[in-house]
Structure 1
Amino acid sequence: MSLTPYHAKYFAHDLTRKAVVGIDRLSMSLFDAAVDLNPHQIEAALFALESPLSKGVILADEVGLGKTIEAGIVLCQLWAERRRRVLVICPASLRKQWALELEEKFNLPTRVLDSKSFRDEERKGKAPLAEQAVLIVSFNYANAIRHELKSIAWDIVVVDEAHKLRNAYRPSNKVGQGIRWATEDCRKLLLTATPLQNSLMELYGLSTLIDEHLFGDINAFRSQYVNAGSSITDLRQRLSEFCKRTLRNQVTEFIRYTERRTITRPFSPSDDEHALYEAVSAFLQRSDSYALPQRQRHLTALILRKLLASSSLAIAGTLDTLRLRLVTLPDGQSGDAPQLVEAIIESEEMEDDLLDEILAEEEESQTPEVASVSIDRQKLREEIEILRHLGVRARKIGVDSKTRTLLQALNIGFEQMAKTGAARKALIFTESRRTQEYLKTFLEANGYQGQVVSFNGTNSGPEATAIYEHWVDKNRDTGRVSGSRGVDVRTALIEHFRDEATILLATEAAAEGINLQFCSLVINYDLPWNPQRIEQRIGRCHRYGQKHDVVVINFLNERNDVDRRVLELLSEKFNLFNGVFGASDEVLGAIESGVDFEKRILAIYQECRTPEQIEAAFRKLQDEMDEQIRTRMDDTRRKLFESFDEDVHHRLRIQLADAKAQLDRVGRRFWVLTQFILAERARFDDAALAFDLNRPPHGGIGAGRYHLISKLQPHADDGGEDVSRFLYRLSHPLGQYVMDDGKAQHTPPSCLVFDSTNHPTRLHTVEALRGRSGFLTLVRLQIDSYEREEHLLFSGFEDDGASLDHETMEKLFGCAARVEDKGISPTVQQRLEAEADRHAKATVSRSLEQNSVHFNKAREKLEKWADDMVLSAEKALLDTKEQIKALRRQSRQAVTLEEQHTVLEKIQKLERQQRRQRQEIFAVEDEIMVKRDALIESLEKRLAQQTHSETLFTIRWTVQ
């Protein structure tokens, strides 16, 4: 297509204009996102951005539907609109995952902030919260810096796993209260798969995080919706304004889900292995051991239990650590060592992400230790000797039964891969760094030499460094090297596993933030007791883009009754390993804390001695889980959140079709505009949608091969070929240069001759104009009201005076053209200006109409809030009346004069309160109405519109 400067100016403005309605609003973000289109995610993003007056929404899709992607689309769009004060608050364990997802899929700069990085930035004289990046903080740290967060006018605050803050309305919930206060004036996006678990009050709690005017106070909410006779229909209608939920069974038409298939590999420890297990267990069950610090006794025992189940070398190393600490224990100290647990967790890479939470719980549950406690030195020496002896026994085991079973498990797994045509790849998880090193040595010595790659928290070993350096060298000129070793080494190791290795041996560091759709075999060498951690592990492979059923292999110690029951509980109650979807969000959400659940399992290991005790303990735990998971809220949950719209599939199909059409339009225009602007600087390959930039326009842009993002092209995580290039986006500095240059094109009044004859496809409306001529003008109209919106308005007519419609003039610019130097008469110019003015007024009127809809919804919300608050005041008066009635009955039944006198005093006190409430209720009602009217008045003021228009060009046109 032969572009002119007029095409370039129009396309550049069109690609970057700020729309406010429908798919048009998401043009930039959907095009820039390196993700496949799923219509429910587009619909959710549009819902989140729908009302400029909304203070936020809840996106409550079921697990596995990509709420992070939905939030990413919203953030990407706001970023493209230059609204870049963006904050993500999430559990500490998800911070890295958020950073990687936003960087890889949306090309958004991110920064994880914690106390150390915050202080480091301040020492450099920088303002950490002013950084031009998406800032990511944990719940606890957000509360710690709540005063600093409060001072920033955030464009949006995303709260992931928002159900953890569902009690934020309670004064006792310090973290929730802090986050709520710090973000109360900001627009928020709450993400949770479990918006409602056990009580409708949880919905009230989440609503207070968004906007205090969604409902009245807690008493009004409880009386309207929680107590008997409450209206679910009314609550559903109010929730629909700020909460959206999509179910997995609604999107199976658009997303291909594969199955999970579980295989259990039993193994029988040798007598020596079993004797070691029993000996270490007996030591851990001691109530007065110096080796286990008093303050963190349960946590230390939990860690040692896991290492004991992992490998003999793992427990041997930790037993040595305990022994050495006791050897160096000074006189007069209690044996407590707060840093011991941290040291073990750090060295083994166990539960690192949950350390803060665990330690906080431990400290809350314990009283401060006495500074100086007398130590029985004889007993201490005996304990040191026991630890030394156990360590020696552990090292003598050598290759244990479980390790030999791993070879069998791999063979079985690879046989399954061969049957389904899946790649010969295996992801093996262990909870111990020592076990990881031991298994790598063992596997390489038993048929897998050069096929095993390790992935852990530091990724700093010689092999990882060599893989990283090779990757950096290979990608030096491609734009894929971020400059952060931590980020790049992860990418390098994953790509090495994908392209070269057979086995990825991973600690918990790989359970989050990486995508391994090309692998469909997950082996839990060590099985966590925390169902949420297991789900995270399997979810590395069982996710979007997985083309094969995922096989999950677990090991079972046949000589351990507790191990058997743990596996049964995880399999049957949580359904982690089988089926299409794995563990449901309802079940996982029922576990308030994975750590608490692990402690319950630990208690059984520690306290139960006989099979009968073990059976009774697990029966009790299972009954409690049944109670938590029970479907007592299911009917209410479905009525409130699930869509009964029979046309939901049809609606999503239309959404997908519209999005694809818009993306095709954006892609075509971006591509031809780039060819026009960079014609002298690059060599283009249309077939590959790629170009080689030879002469960069300025120093901030690198030379090399650029590839246009296209949903039709393979991505790196799909196993696509040749991803070693710059990904060319609208948001890339080169893309921004092309846009700016396009907008700056010189476009004086001229004649454009459009070629409809040689256009590759038929444009009927343009062909109808063949042989005819006329005039047109293009105006950019900016409207500022609740939000800024931009419109590109064509106005024009034929030589015979007949007006042209906007769509026909748009289609004209779909054809190639040549420029002829001709002027435009003043008479024609006046007619065009009049047409443009009429067009602009009509557009402003439509904008006002749309904003009036938003205004009326917001006013209705405030009216309902006022009604709630009045109801609360009336309810307080009614409660007082009921208390007086009850006391009068009690007075009539009083046996003694003294008892009757006491009751009468209470009645008199309540009657005074009742009179005061009657007098105050009118004042309260007036106060509420005044506040409501003030809020509505402020909305009306914002509704007022300001407009600005700019003529981009005026031309005479001819079609041939």
Structure 2
Amino acid sequence: MRIVDATTARATLAAAWLGTDDAPIKAVSGSDQRSRNVLGAVVLRPHQISAVARVGAAMEEFGGALLCDAVGMGKTFVALAVARDAPQRLIVAPAMLRDMWRTAASRAEVGVEFASFEALSRGRVPAHDSAFIVVDEAHHARNPSTRRFRELAALASRARVLLLSATPVHNRREDIVTLLSLFLGARAASLTTAEITRCVIRRERAAATGSSIIPLIAEPEWVDVGDRGGGTPDDTLPALLLDLPPPLPVRNGGDGGALIAHALIRQWASSDAALRAGLRRRVKKSIALAHALENGVYPSARELTAWVIGEDSVQLGFPSFLAPAHANTAELLATLREHREALCKVLGLVGAAEGDDRRRASALRDIRRKHAGVKIVAFSQYAETVHALFVELMRDGEVAALTSRGARIASGAISRADAIARFAPAASRQSPPPRSSAISLLLTTDILSEGVNLQDAGVVVHLDLPWTAARLEQRVGRIARMGSRHQTAFSYALQPPVSAEAIVRIEATLRSKLKLTTAVAGRMVNLLPTCNGASDETKSPAVLSEDIRRVLLSWRSGAEPLHDIAAPIVAASGATECGFVAACTVDGRVTLLSASRESVSEDPAELLATLRMAGGVTVDASSQSAKKAFRAIELHLASSRAMAGVFPDRSAAGQLRRSVLRRISVITARARPHARAHVATLAERARTTVNGRLGAGAESELRVAASSTGMSDEEWLRGIVLLGERQSHVARATEGPSSGEISRVIVLLLLRSKRERRNRCHRQRNADGLVSPLDYGSHPDGTSPFDSSQGGTNANEVHERFHPAGGRRWGSDNDGGLLAGYHSTRDRRRGGSAKDRASRRGSAREIWVARHLPL
């Protein structure tokens, strides 16, 4: 091993782990000599270049990665840079993002094919396989029971997968587990924290450096729109909605009465227009259901869709052709009519109310005056809210409304693309429109909350609160993006009525989901005034990884790292506790290990705590401590290798693998003697497949193969082997090390506390009676009195180095004589020969020196 100072060791350790994360990426073509950070007409920023390297490393290790950088950090071009070298590239995203991806791919000079989530939900799958799949807004595939997830998993079973989503967690931790299972399968549920930090990458906006600065997000503000008037006090409508008679469910359907009431209260919290529309839809549905019952049939939910419900009318079908007959419909009709009459009563009260939506429009006018000259985008869940506010504000000028039905301005309907180009010409790469057709206030539904660049705007307004904190961040992310000309982005939220909040607890629900999202995926931007800081107690693995990276970046800039390291680099640093930090190569990958109190760990939280302690001054490195650390690292890595490939989970996927392995063992045991060698070879390859990394789609194929019959044992084994061959290009074949590379320590940084250095004197004397330099540490001026090239120094020489001539002397009357006198009575009491008593007095002197000499 090679002893160096702690600063050099820290820089070398940081350089080994960080690698080339900040190095330029490959050139677009071999014919030109453009810099490697250029992607077609796009110049990647430093944080994007780092993301390309980190995603590539995750792809090599896991066969996939989840990039969940904060909204607006340029994930699209990171994905295209990573996918560029693949032979076939497929983009899976919401249909509304098709044009955006085609434009981005054209600028990056990367050819891609596109498939929408909506097409997958209808079973329309691309005709040929792709080697690389990018799933944008991946949270749309977070439900494993949907058809779109099954189709996507089948595509991903034969490709590497890059998932993009700034908000991978919406409602529960299982959301992110489902996404990771696309390339990890059942193993996604049992990933260690260290593994999550390597396959889930999330950086905050502060990581985006360079010329394209993302705006700061100001503290969000509530906007009080006043009491709900119009003769309906704030608590009257919610009480009426909660007191609605139970609705008549469709055949084979649940009651849903409480859910209906809560949905109507949420609509009322958005606007009176949204509530009116919701009540009218309920009334129209009851009319259609009543018509069916009057004709003696009781339809199911699917059969009821045959009645086309329009804006103002209900088109009735022929009940006898649409649903089976049903007896005793009179009682059902009575229940239905009671519910419908109550709905009509509430609808009459809401229709008589005036002024509530006007106050909301007035609040928007106040925001426009406060931010004069700044473009504003206002989001709502309900198209009726957007339309009602547009009617109130369109005479103010430069106002547009955009919903799923299209866009409107004061003069009439326009296309959606035209509306976006007029509102955000810079983000759309269009020329600014003339002032007469410009749009400065865009009222829209959440149809524009994903995948759209609106950074021309500097203010976002939440007209109502969505059901997830992820949707709030997506809204804010439309304006807080790279390329914005604003230094600060502002956000406002219209405060819901007090009674609605008390019943539905919208804000409390958002706070709970925000806390969960922060713990799993990382901290989100400021969303609501009362939500800020609610989730800072627990750091997600991705956030821990970024904190570790920041510490190591500061280390790397502190000194010049060593290169071409043949022997382990060892150094020691002063710290508050004993331990060590080590950089090791494991299966060709650099891994950081930390130890505190005899425990070696890869856990990011423990590693971060140890790294923060390891910034002290250089102290003398102990060969004994280094050997002990090397031994602990060796045992830890051996234990990890022994556990590789073990599936302790009791999930269905784990049981499936065990079942297939048992069948392989049975086939091997009953093979005929002349075929045993061939069958054993196939069986070993099949076991490698079963123990390998399989995504959700490959696990589905394995499930089908496990239950297949009607084929010979050899044919069945070949089928399992073929499944493994299709996975070989996706990720490493087995859970354990595949390269066969011997693990070794690159850098070992020992942490030595002051107390440990002081107390080692009487335990580490060498055979010649010399005291190791480790027993004393460094002088207060930062220098060591010892020559680290020698094995030890006589205790009197140590005393001379610390105390020049005229000072205290070893064994002098000043202290040694007093010490000897102090121990003489105790020695006589303990008995023994004079030689034994002299030996005890010598040990006592050494202990005294260790305690009293300055360190």
Greater helix content: 1
Taking structure 1 as the reference length, the TM-score comes to: 0.45
* TM-score normalised per structure 2: 0.50
Q: Which structure: larger Rg?
A: 2
